[in-house]
Amino acid sequence: MHQEWLLLETLGSEPVVVAAGKFAKDLVPISSYLRRSPYLSAIQTAVAETVANNAGLASLTPKQKRVIRTEPVTMTDGRVHGVHVWIGPADEEPPERPLPGPITWDLTIGEATDSPQALINRGEDPENAPVHGRSFASDLSAGALRTGEAKLLALALRREPDDTIYETWDLVAADGSPLTGSFVARVVVEEADDGTEHVLLRGMNWVSERESGVVEPDSLAQRILEGLATPGTYRALVDLRNWALLKWLDEPSPYYDWRADSVHPDDLERLQSMPAEFDPGGASRIVRLSHTESDWVPVHITINRIELEPGVFTGLMAMRRATECELAEDDRARTSG
C-alpha cells in the first residue's frame, strides 16, 4: 500500500476506495484495491471499528512494524459517510490529508445539507453560506449542464437505492480562482424523525487533482445555451415530483428568493397540475413566488418535460415577469374559478 491517505466510502455493503491522496479512484472495493497487501484484514477491521465508533484510531499491525491510522468523515447528523485510512512505519507521521466534506441531499423533500468543509471544498465561505435547507441548485454552478452533472441529476431523479456516482469536475471558487473537485454519492433510504421513509443522496466532496491534466469545458454546450437565451427570462431544471430546483442554466433569477420555500400556498395546486397538461409547447402558469417574507411576486412560468437519460425526465422551467395583460387575464381566471 502506498504511504498516502486512502479515502473510503463506507455507505455500501463493502468500503470502496474513492481517492488515493488527491487523486480520485473509481469506487474500487477495498478487498480488490489492497488484495496483495498483507495488512488487508487489519485495515478492514480498523475501518469497521472507525465506522462503528465514529472515531479515528491508531493501531499497530500484528508484528508492530506498521501503524494504521483512520479518521471518519462524519455528516452533521452523525452518519459516517467515509473513512480516511493510512498505513506506514510506526515511527513516521502520515502526510497532510485532503479534508473531505460530507453532503446530504434529501430527495424526498428537495433539500440539501452541506457540511462547512463541503462548502470550503467547493470554494465557498461557510461563514456566509447556509448549510441547512439549501436548494440543490446551490450545490451546482449555473450554466450549461455538464456530463457529470447530468449523471448526478439522473441519479437523484431515479432514486434507486444503492445507485452510486463519482465525478471530477473543474470549478470556479467564489473569489474567481479555478479549482478541481471530486464528488462521490450513494442513494440510501432512511427513516426520518417523523417516522416516514425518505430517499437520500449521501456523499462527500474533496479538492482533487487530475492524473491526466485539466479537461477543457464543453464550450459548445454553453454557446448553444447562450444563443437560445432571452433577455429577462431565466431557465432552470426542476424535479417534477416535488418542484425542487435542481440547477440554474442561466444566472439565478432576481425575481424571487429561490433559496427559500418560494411558492404561495394558494398557488401550489396550480403548479402541481402543470405536468398533466404538458404538450409539445409545454405548460404555462402565473405563480406567485416569494421575494421577501411579506412580498409575493407574480411570475410567468413555462415548463417543458425533457429526458436527461432514457426514462429519466426533468422539467425545463423558464420564468419571466408576467405582463400586465397576462396578469389581468390571470385575475379573471382566478375570479371565475
Q: Which of 258, 238, 53, 55 is closest to 138 using CA atoms?
A: 258
Q: Please, are residues 179 and 169 in contact by the beta-carbon 8 Å criterion?
A: no
> Which residues, 6+ apart, have CB-to-CB distance to 101 below 8 Å?
114, 115, 116, 117, 118, 119, 120, 121, 122, 204, 205, 206
- The Cβ of residue 113 has, within 10 Å, a number of other Cβ atoms equal to 19
Q: Which helix (H) or strand (E) holds 48?
A: helix 40-53
Per-residue pLDDT, 114: 97
pLDDT at 254 exceeding the cut of 60: yes
The domain 6-89 having CATH identifier 3.30.450: the answer here is yes
Report the alpha-carbon distance of residue 274 to residue 238 in Å, rounded: 13
CA 325 to chain CA mean position, Å: 39
Whole-model pTM?
A: 0.89
Nearest-CA neighbor of 207 among 15, 8, 19? 19
| Residue 192 grid coordinates | 426520518
- pLDDT tens profile 52-75: 999 999 999 877 789 999 999 999
Domain 229-337 grouped into CATH 3.30.450.20? yes
The per-residue pLDDT for range 157-169, each reduced to its tens digit, is: 999 999 999 999 8
- Cell numbers for 119: 462548502
In whole angstroms, give the CA distance from residue 140 to residue 242: 19
At 261, the pLDDT band (50, 70, 90 cuts) reads low
**DSSP for 101-119?**
EEEEEETTTTEEEE-HHHH
Predicted pLDDT of residue 188: 98
**Same-fold call for 6-89 versus 229-337:** yes
At residue 80 the predicted structure's pLDDT band, cuts being 50, 70 and 90, is very high
Q: Identify how many contiguous H helices and E strands the chain contains and give both numbers.
A: 7, 16
Sheet holding 197-207, edge to edge: 111-114, 101-106, 197-207, 178-191, 164-172
SS3 54: coil
Q: What is the DSSP string of 255-316?
A: SS-TTS--B-GGGHHHHHTGGGG--TT-EEEEEEEEEETTEEEEEEEEEEEEEEETTEEEEE
Q: What is the pLDDT of residues 234-243, one digit of tens each?
A: 999 999 998 8
Domain boundaries, the chain: 6-89, 229-337
